[in-house]
Amino acid sequence: MNILVSNDDGIFALGMRTLANSLAAAGHRVTVVCPDRERSATGHGLTMDQPIRAEVIESIFKGDIQAWSCSGTPADCVKLALGALMATLPDVVVSGINHGANLGTDVVYSGTVSAAMEGVMEGIPAIAVSLASFTQQSFDPAAEFICDLLADGDRFPLGAPMLLNVNVPAAVEIKGAKITRQGIRRYFDQFEKRIDPRGKTYYWLAGEAIQEIEDPLPNQGWPLELKQSLAAIPTDVQAIRDRYISVTPLQYNLTAVGDLLDLAGGQRPLLPE
């Protein structure tokens, strides 16, 4: 399989190197295009006001892996790889392994997920994979899971371009894997006020995730039957809490379908006729 690997932690990140080396060892043809530095929480940002530079990277990967360091964002990396660096389009884009979870509403900000989503937007199936721990340094179980997933002929190649957002708990905790739906992950944001050497005020965003599990279903404008069916499927946040690998299908179409139908077919149309 021809695989493009990217990330948002940068070209020298251990998680990405573990993933790329594992995929190459499994017999896949691997191309790596990653940011030249950490670009976490950049969302789907693109570089529009300056040139994007790419530099060939050698000697940090095992086997026959072609690798580039890119000056742009994670989405830039995938866009550049597909449009200029790769001779043939990949069968799948894999982004990660991110050091830290990308659960629930994290996916809105995540550079890891955005890199994978860029592949889907170009019609290529994609996987975003994250290690749901900042203290755990073993990326091997996550890399092995992705290799096994890609080797599963019943699941890959996917029938349609789709993004699978995979989160893997710490190695000693894994009970199995579950198909999940996107949950909610809230943060207690803190803005630390500081003074620079010139006496001017600036703010540093900090904070931590709030661990209470909240189900987004009650706030969705979906039919009751759909909500009842989805309620039987755990959220990604719950699966990780229960020490399971979570696999959540995502899409880039953000249309609120339930609300759209209500607004378009309601007794009192939102727009004048």
- Known binding-site residue numbers: 8-9, 40, 98
* Count of alpha carbons within 13 angstroms of residue 189, beta-carbon side: 6
User: Which one-letter DSSP state was computed for residue 149?
Assistant: H
Judge contact between 162 and 153, C-beta under 8 A.
no
Give me the half-sphere count of Cα atoms (radius 13 Å) on the Cβ side of residue 50: 5
Q: Which residues are annotated as a binding site for a divalent metal cation?
A: 8-9, 40, 98
CA angle 153/158/163 to nearest 5° reads: 130
SS3 for 272? coil
The span from the first CA to the last CA of the chain, in angstroms, equals 53
Q: Do 210 and 231 meet the contact criterion of CB atoms below 8 Å apart?
A: no
